[in-house]
Chains A and B, each alone.
Chain A
Amino acid sequence: MTDFQQAQQTDFQQKALTLAGQQESPAWLAALRFEGSEQWLNADWPSRRTELWKYTPLQALQKNTSATWSRVLPQGVGSASLLTVDALRLVFVNGVYDPEGSNVGIASADHTSVVRFSSANAEQRSLIEKHLGRIVNTQRHLFASLSNAWVQDGVLVHVPRNAVLEKPVYVVYVSTPESEPVIANHRLLVVLEDGAQAELIEHFVSDTQPQNSFVNALTEISIAANASLQHYRINLEQEQQIHIGGVHIDLQRDARYSGFTIAEGSTLKRIDYQINHRGNGAHASLNGVYLPRNNQIVDYHTNVEHWAPHCTTSEVFRGIIGDSARAVFNGRILIHPDAQKTLAELSNRNLLTSDKAEVDTKPELEIYADDVKCAHGATVSQLDQTAMYYLQSRGVSKALARTMLSFGFINELLQELPQVAVRNYLQHHLTELFHTGTALE
């Protein structure tokens, strides 16, 4: 790139890069960090004309130029509510590993392993070098380059050939306000070898105080032949929390990915999923829920690419948008020429519970193979009037009827969740949210 083409960097880009440069990280990650820095610095900062950021302004982030990063484990994690689940648990607070809250930290003795990059052995290190930054689609995920530039620690979940991870891996990312706003860079890499099986729960949570941090969280997942992953990504942070996240998944032959994600809104919350069907017969399902209210915004961009034949995708997203909140859903499915016999379905349904609520939904199908079955659809509506009447005709008040229908609309996806701890936690959380919240007015 010549000087002439060099993009105009924003203050935030420079500031973030400076902070990234201050991170202490093992020498073997230096190449990735260098690559990331280059990309981040040369990236065009999104504007209203940038297709991928059309509806989601980054102002809230740009203001954040006094940001720093957390050097010590912050205090006062207590009020964040966690799942009750028997799991291999790792806790990070504002990006700093919390050994007290975690119950793993070193490689376990058997063949399966959950390990931090900083304590990876030689074999694990070579796995990380092989995959980290190689699954992510940086073209569609600007903040991946910042993540690469910053990477200092992270978590590797590695399940060897035909092994089954005995417990779910539960990674908790806690945010808590500090005197200066902080940037927390979270990095997770999942490598499932042939025939391996695992369950992963990622939980982004904050205490209830107004937050001042920016979380940039990138997860890369490699699922080899016939391996399978059950993955939950829960984003329930206080509404001042800025969150930009990405999940990037490569699926090899007959691999299976089953994902669920839920997000409440914030001043800026953007989550990208990239799923690549790279081997024949892979299957991916991804269900998602978003619930912005007040003045919050939440933006989901999903991009599923079918590169190989006989793969299937099923994607269902539902949102309830209240008050003056805004949601963006962009679901793209791209069928490349070799991906014959693809079956792909995408549905997005939205409930607007206020006149000022907004949603921009855009399912996109791009098909370059001729023998495929694809369907997609998006709806935006109010609560079902017939159902409202039915409930009221049984004495249920209008307000409670709305609450019940809104809960029901989301609960249809929750009740299918195989992990009972997640299901219970979310059902409880939503019941409280709908009963106390303004989400329904």
Chain B
Amino acid sequence: MLEIRNLNARVEGADILRNLSLTIKPGEVHAIMGPNGSGKSTLGNVLTGRPGYEVTSGEVLFNGQDLLALEIEERSREGLFLAFQYPVEIPGVTNMEFLKASVDARRKHLGLPDLSSFDFMKLARETSKKVSLDAAFLKRGVNEGFSGGEKKRNEIMQMMLLEPSLCILDETDSGLDIDALQVVASGVNAMRDDKRSFIIVTHYQRLLDYIVPDHVHVLAGGRIVKSGGKELAHELEAKGYSWLEDEVA
């Protein structure tokens, strides 16, 4: 599904990712934890092609394709999805219009016929219900004036509509109350199957109680310093990260 080999990336002249390697197989759920500023969001940004994030060496294969050679929108259409840590507000563009444009693009890429406005509206309403977002949010500007939790639910709704093959959730659980957390978790779990993979970036064990990962990695200083099974998350919760830095040093 995804193969990252010796990835180095810089932002604003600073080297952030250093020789990062990671392999994700179809159907797997990987959790990435690590201290603030260690490069977790940078990884998501680099994978999705965010302007300003420069890959200096290394390669990334996504379903065998050279991911880094693709345009931002092509990566999405190929099935890569990032749920943003800080979703962007776009006043004046309605959520409905935005969702329709992205679903249209994905369906076209997959060779599926366009959904009529009516069918799309129906689908969007059903999906918003699944993430407990009132249908009124569909008419508002994209994320405009949404609370933190509402923005995160909106991200999950997009994920459900686009049905990507690789989903990266960047701290989707941060700032969520317990109900919202369950909405996110059940959304992810409902989408889990033997083909779809997930990268869950989180600081909290709590989310991983609901979405049980196959692998847990610790990202520190721009590289993966430790990998393990789901127990590793418990260990990190109890001990923090400092023991790892000692171990690495």
Binding site for B on A (CB under 8 A): 385-387, 389-398, 400, 404-405, 407-412, 415
Given A404-B98, A404-B101, A411-B93: A395 touches B88 (CB 8 Å cut-off): no
Query: Is B88 a contact of A387 with CB atoms below 8 Å?
Result: yes
State how many angstroms separate the Cβ of A91 from the closest Cβ of chain B: 32
Q: How far is the CB of A432 from chain B (nearest CB, A)?
A: 15
**Contact assessment for A395 and B77 in the assembled complex, using a CB-CB cutoff below 8 Å:** yes
Chain B 68-104 interface 0/1 with A at a Cβ cutoff of 8 Å (1 = within): 0001110111000010100110111100011001100
Instruction: Give the contacts of B108-167 with A (CB-CB under 8 A).
Output: 109, 141, 158, 162
Q: Whole-angstrom distance from the CB of A200 to the nearest CB of chain B?
A: 26
> Is B51 on the interface with A (CB-CB < 8 A)?
yes
Instruction: Confirm or deny: B40 has a beta carbon within 8 angstroms of a beta carbon on chain A.
Output: no
Q: Would B48 and A408 count as touching, CB distance under 8 A? A: no
Count how many pairs of residues, one from A and one from B, have CB atoms less than 8 Å apart in the complex.
77
Answer whether A391 and B106 are a contact pair too, CB < 8 Å, given A396-B73, A398-B73: no
Known A-B contacts A389-B51, A400-B101, A408-B141; the reply to A395 vs B90 at CB < 8 A is no
Cβ of B50 within 8 Å of any chain A Cβ, yes or no, is yes
Contact status B105-A396, CB under 8 Å: yes
4 further A-B contacts with Cβ under 8 Å, apart from A393-B75, A408-B90, are A392-B72, A394-B162, A395-B77, A411-B92
Most-contacted residue by chain A among B48, B50, B88, B90 (CB, 10 A)? B90
A326 CB to nearest chain B CB (Å): 24
CA distance A407 to B72 in the complex (A): 21
* B87 CB contacts on chain A under 8 angstroms: 390
Given the complex of chains A and B, what is the CA–CA distance between A411 and B91 in angstroms? 9
Q: Which residue of B lies closest to A396 (CB)?
A: B101
Residues in A with CB closer than 8 Å to B71 are 392, 398
CB closest chain-B residue, reference A431: B97
How long is the Cα–Cα vector from A145 to B93 in the complex, in angstroms? 43
On whether A390 and B90 interact (CB within 8 A), knowing A395-B102, A404-B97, A404-B101, the answer reads yes
- Of A387, A398, A407, the most chain B CB neighbours within 10 A belong to A387
The smallest beta-carbon distance between A289 and chain B, in angstroms, is 12
* Chain A neighbourhood of B102, CB < 8 A: 391, 394-396
Identify the 9 closest CB pairs spanning chains A and B, nearest first: A408-B92, A395-B105, A394-B102, A408-B93, A395-B76, A392-B72, A390-B88, A412-B92, A411-B92
* Residue from B49, B75, B101 with most neighbouring chain A CB atoms (10 Å): B101
The reply to whether B105 and A387 form a contact with Cβ atoms under 8 Å apart is: no
Residue of B nearest to A403 (CB): B101
A390 vs B73: C-alpha distance in the bound complex, in angstroms? 10
| 26 contacts across the A-B interface (CB closer than 8 A) | A387-B88, A389-B51, A390-B88, A391-B98, A391-B102, A392-B71, A392-B76, A393-B72, A393-B76, A394-B98, A394-B101, A394-B162, A395-B76, A395-B162, A396-B73, A396-B98, A396-B105, A398-B71, A400-B105, A404-B93, A404-B97, A404-B101, A407-B92, A408-B91, A408-B141, A411-B92
Considering only CB atoms and an 8 Å cut-off, how many residues of chain B contact the other chain? 28
Q: Which of B49, B50, B92, B105 is within 8 Å of A415, CB to CB?
A: B92
**Contact of B51 with A385 in the complex, beta carbons under 8 Å:** yes
A405 to B98, CA, bound (A): 10
Measured in the bound complex, the distance between the Cα atoms of B158 and A390 in whole Å is 12
Most chain A CB within 10 A, of B73, B76, B158, is at B73
Q: State the Cβ distance, A402 to closest chain B Cβ, in Å.
A: 12
Chain B contacts for A411, CB-based, 8 A: 92-93
B98 partner residues in chain A, CB cutoff 8 A: 391, 394, 396, 404
Q: How far is the CB of B108 from chain A (nearest CB, A)?
A: 9
Are the C-beta atoms of B109 and A395 separated by less than 8 Å? yes
What A residues does B141 contact at CB under 8 A?
Answer: 408, 412
| A408 / chain B contacts, CB cutoff of 8 Å | 90-93, 141
Kindly state the separation between the CA atoms of A407 and B98 in the bound complex, as whole angstroms.
12
Say how far A298's CB is from chain B's closest CB, in angstroms: 21
Inter-chain CA distance A393–B158, complex, in Å, is: 11
Q: How far is the CA of A27 from the CA of B75 in the complex (A)?
A: 74
The smallest beta-carbon distance between B69 and chain A, in angstroms, is 15
Which of chain A's residues have a CB closer than 8 A to the CB of B76?
Answer: 392-395
Measured between C-beta atoms, what is the minimum distance from A299 to chain B in Å?
A: 25
A397 near B51 with CB under 8 A, answer: no
> Cα distance A397–B76 when bound, in Å?
10
A162 to B76, CA, bound (A): 59
B170 to chain A, nearest CB (A): 12
Whether the Cβ atoms of B92 and A395 lie closer than 8 Å is no
A393 touching B82, Cβ below 8 Å = yes
Would you give the shortest CB distance from B48 to chain A, in whole angstroms? 5
Tell me the complex Cα distance, A187–B35, Å: 69
- A333–B169 CA distance with the chains assembled, in angstroms: 49
CB distance from B103 to the nearest CB of A (A): 8
Q: Are A409's CB and B101's CB within 8 A? A: no
A398 to B73, CA, bound (A): 8
* Distance to closest chain A CB from B96 (angstroms): 12
B162 proximity list for chain A (CB < 8 A): 394-395
Residues of A within 8 A of B92 (CB): 407-412, 415
Closest to A393 in B: B48
Contact with A along B206-233 (1 / 0, CB 8 A): 0000000000000000000000000000
Cβ–Cβ < 8 Å partners of B77 in chain A: 395
Chain A: which residue is nearest B161 at the CB level? A394
List chain A residues, Cβ under 8 A from B93.
404-405, 407-408, 411
- Least CB distance from A259 to B in Å reads 20
Q: Are B91 and A392 in contact (CB under 8 A)?
A: no
Q: Which residues in B have their C-beta under 8 angstroms from that of A407?
A: 92-93
By a CB distance below 8 angstroms, the chain A residues around B97 are 404
Q: Considering only CB atoms, which chain A residue lies closest to B139 in the complex? A: A415
Asked whether A397 lies within 8 Å of B88 as measured between CB atoms, the reply is no
Contacts A408-B90, A409-B92, A415-B92; A394 near B158 (Cβ below 8 A):
yes
* A389/B105 in contact, CB under 8 A: no
B33-75 interface mask toward A, CB cutoff 8 Å, 1 = contact, 0 = none?
Answer: 0000000000000001111000000000000000000011101
- Given known A395-B106, A404-B93, contact A390–B84 (CB-CB < 8 A): yes
Chain B residues with CB below 8 A from A387, complex form: 88, 90
